């Protein structure tokens, strides 16, 4: 185990009688997840036309805008916290790395699933792994490769947590018990090997994340005739990357407070409040880049037109950037859990709305005969996948040492 993993003790929640796995809320989430899986099965067996309102003019909808584009952005907490805690060697933030890493790993897994769901011929997804089919000039190819490689890196980064959970505890039943010693030795070797090379994977994860966070913006930057001028810009990749930095830290705060409330744990304010001080600077840089871009392209007059898109843009910037910036700047509000959570939630909402606006609201095909609105089954699948992510997060923190031991939080 690398040194950074030893500073803070983490424990699985299983065996904690004060935190039962099943609660009324968890049961509701499980039902929604089951409904989402059922919708997924209908999509896979009966095709896109049976469960979506897609057509030749609108080949994508909320599955790309929310499940994929927003999912990638919200999973940015993994690489931002890894950079701050490990690359910048900020000791006190190590307690946030494992939860952020778990959120990123589950999130990116479902991003890949979301891409498969949206593909008409999902069974051909393996083509991206065939060098003979690569197209180096394709922005989507770069996104696909980066996501696939980064997801592998995330799984590798999570392996030390798996090793920590099972080293000395391998206890296979029956005849398989003869392999206990072998598997335990294998886990110890894997753990020591990973400790020597983990720095490489952490840095690779940061680089890969920056690459594909920006590449998502490239996907729409190459469609000037189809994207509304409030959002279409040649610097869209830069804007996507800057917003990912801000939402990565906000998501770490959002997830930490939500998990603390759900699992009846002390909120890690000694870590979250200092972390929140970094977010206003990131939001100001992002906001300045947006303003400079709008002025430079002479697109700012569109902000004052009385239409739905202008309203959506103002909500995105006002609620997602301007208001949380002032809230985060307040020393008193940063130290109040409710205000801190609300501020982080606003940034998360703003980035989700931004991705939705870029891929759905602002998208207008040249020969459209109507406006896209998602079918109820599209909404059901999105809600179901989000519920499944929450359920899997709960399962993993019960099984693996992800969250810090409560006594460390209480005495910090």
136-186, pLDDT tens digit by residue?
888 888 888 888 898 999 999 999 999 999 988 888 888 888 888 889 899
Instruction: Report yes or no on 218 lying in a domain.
Output: yes
Count Cα neighbours of 380 within 13 Å in the Cβ-side half-sphere.
17
Instruction: Report yes or no on 371 lying in a domain.
Output: yes
Contacts of 164 (CB under 8 A, 6+ apart): 1, 5, 10, 191, 401
Specify the pLDDT at position 282. Answer: 96
Statement: residue 5 has pLDDT above 70: no
Predicted TM-score (pTM) of the model is 0.91
Specify the pLDDT at position 327. Answer: 96
Instruction: Report yes or no on 410 lying in a domain.
Output: no
In contact, 374 and 61? CB cutoff 8 Å: yes
Instruction: Report yes or no on 412 lying in a domain.
Output: no
Specify the pLDDT at position 6. Answer: 45
In contact, 402 and 161? CB cutoff 8 Å: yes
Confidence band, pLDDT 50/70/90 cuts, at residue 366: confident
Residues of the domain holding 81? 3-404
Q: Cα separation of 297 and 94, whole Å?
A: 42
Q: State the virtual CA torsion across 55, 60, 62, 68 in degrees, nearest 10.
A: 160
Q: Cα separation of 230 and 397, whole Å?
A: 41
Q: Which two tokens stand for residue 214?
A: 């920006």
Residue 91's domain is classified under what CATH number? Answer: 1.20.1630.10
DSSP designation for 68:
I
Instruction: Report yes or no on 411 lying in a domain.
Output: no
Q: CA quadruple 351, 355, 358, 362: dihedral positive or negative?
A: negative
Instruction: Report yes or no on 409 lying in a domain.
Output: no
Alpha carbon 284 to its chain centroid, in Å, reads: 22
Instruction: Report yes or no on 48 lying in a domain.
Output: yes
Which of 124, 113, 143, 69 lies closest to 381, judged by CA? 113
Contacts of 57 (CB under 8 A, 6+ apart): 365, 367, 368, 369
Statement: residue 407 has pLDDT above 60: no
What digits encode the pLDDT tens for the residues 126-148? Answer: 888 888 888 888 888 888 888 88
Instruction: Report yes or no on 18 lying in a domain.
Output: yes
Angle, CA of 402, 405 and 407, to the nearest 5°: 165
The domain tally of the chain equals 1
Which of 301, 338, 303 lies closest to 317, judged by CA? 303
Specify the pLDDT at position 84. Answer: 92
Q: Cα separation of 220 and 302, whole Å?
A: 19
- Characterise 47 by phi-psi region: left (phi > 0), alpha (psi -120 to 50), beta (else): left
Statement: residue 41 has pLDDT above 60: yes
Statement: residue 39 has pLDDT above 50: yes
């Amino acid at each position: 185990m690398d040194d950074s993993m030893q500073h803070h003790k983490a424990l699985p929640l299983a065996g904690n009688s004060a935190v039962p796995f099943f609660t009324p809320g968890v049961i509701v989430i499980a039902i929604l997840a089951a409904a989402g899986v059922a919708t997924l099965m209908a999509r896979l067996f009966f095709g896109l036309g049976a469960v979506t309102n897609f057509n030749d003019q609108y080949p994508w909808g909320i599955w790309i805008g929310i499940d994929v584009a927003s999912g990638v952005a919200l999973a940015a907490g993994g690489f931002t916290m890894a950079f701050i805690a490990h690359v910048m060697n900020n000791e006190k933030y190590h307690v946030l790395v494992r939860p952020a890493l778990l959120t990123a790993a589950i999130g990116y897994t479902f991003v890949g699933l979301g891409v498969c769901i949206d593909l008409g011929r999902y069974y051909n997804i393996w083509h991206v792994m065939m060098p003979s089919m690569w197209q180096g000039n394709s922005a989507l190819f770069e996104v696909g490769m980066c996501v696939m490689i980064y997801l592998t890196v995330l799984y590798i980064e999570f392996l030390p947590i798996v090793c920590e959970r099972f080293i000395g505890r391998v206890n296979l039943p029956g005849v398989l018990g003869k392999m206990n010693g072998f598997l335990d030795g294998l886990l110890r070797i894997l753990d020591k090997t990973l400790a020597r090379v983990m720095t490489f994977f952490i840095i690779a994860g940061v680089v890969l994340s920056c690459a594909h966070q920006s590449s998502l913006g490239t996907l729409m930057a190459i469609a000037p005739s189809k994207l509304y001028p409030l959002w279409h810009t040649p610097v869209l990749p830069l804007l996507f990357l800057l917003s990912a930095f801000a939402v990565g830290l906000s998501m770490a705060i959002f997830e930490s407070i939500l998990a603390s409330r759900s699992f009846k744990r002390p909120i890690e304010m000694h870590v979250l409040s200092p972390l929140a001080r970094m977010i206003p600077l990131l939001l100001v840089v992002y906001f300045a880049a947006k303003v400079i871009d709008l002025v430079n392209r002479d697109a700012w007059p569109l902000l004052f037109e009385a239409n739905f898109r202008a309203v959506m843009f103002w909500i995105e910037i006002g609620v997602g950037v301007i208001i949380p910036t002032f809230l985060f700047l307040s020393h008193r509000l940063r130290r109040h859990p409710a205000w801190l959570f609300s501020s982080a939630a606003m940034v998360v909402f703003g980035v989700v709305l931004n991705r939705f606006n870029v891929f759905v609201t602002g998208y207008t095909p040249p020969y459209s005969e109507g406006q896209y609105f998602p079918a109820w089954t599209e909404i059901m699948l999105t809600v179901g996948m989000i519920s499944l992510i929450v359920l899997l997060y709960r399962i993993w923190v019960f099984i693996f040492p992800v969250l810090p031991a409560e006594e460390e939080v209480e005495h910090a």
